[in-house]
Every structure is written in C-alpha cells, then in structure tokens.
Amino acid sequence: QVQLVESGGGLVQAGGSLRLSCVASKNIFTLNSMGWYRQAPGKQRELVAAVRVRRGGSTDYADSVKGRFTISRDNPKNMVYLQMNSLWPEDSAVYYCYATEGVPGTGFEDVYWGQGTQVTVSS
C-alpha cells in the first residue's frame, strides 16, 4: 500500500516556473516507477513524465514538455519532483503523481495515485 501526496501547484504567468513535489509513504526504491499525469477540463488524461526508480532510472517525457520539464527523485526523502519551466497556458491542468509496484507484465502490478495539485498558467 502506497500513499502519495502532491504539492507545489499554483498560479503563474506564461513563461514562469513551478516545481511540483510528491512524497510517498514508503521507500520509493521498492517501487517500479513514478511520474506525473495531468488532466485539463474536457481533455483526456495524459502522461507528462515518468522515471524508473530502479534499473538505471531512465525517464520519459511527453513530446509537448521535452526540454521544459524535468523529473527527478530524492530517494532518502521518498520524493519525486517535476520542475516545470517556460510554462504555457496549455500546461494548465490538475497534475497527479502516480507510482507503480509489483511485477510488471504479470497482471499483479498496482498503480497508486495522489489527489492532484492544480497548475494554472495565465496568458
């Protein structure tokens, strides 16, 4: 069982920056991956960024945020961050932290979600 709590959302002007934080209730090194989804009103939920906790810590980003967003982790603090620079109004959404654990590809992998944090970018 994993609990996730996000923070760091807010209102910024276009071109500004925010850093989102997600803290997990257990040692994140026992997890498979962590990352961030976002969902804007009337739009589908989309993956923004993900990091493999083990196996080299490889990362993936949505094409729309490459070069602007950076995902990172702090294992001793059980935290994952999303640094967001050069924000556009199109980035406005509720951002959700997620984590997976279990055995990938077996049907026994669990996914956990935070409650979300609002990011609003004004024109």
Q: Which residues contact 105 (CB under 8 A, 6 or more apart)?
A: none
DSSP classification of residue 116: -
Mean pLDDT of 115-119: 98
pLDDT tens figures, 62-108: 999 999 999 999 988 999 999 999 999 999 999 999 999 988 778 88
Q: Which range, of 26-30, 34-38, 65-69, 85-89, averages the lowest pLDDT? A: 26-30
Q: Tell me, what's the pLDDT at 30?
A: 86
Token readout for 3 is 């609990």
CB atoms within 10 A of CB 84: 25
Q: What are phi and psi of 5, to 5 degrees?
A: -130, 120
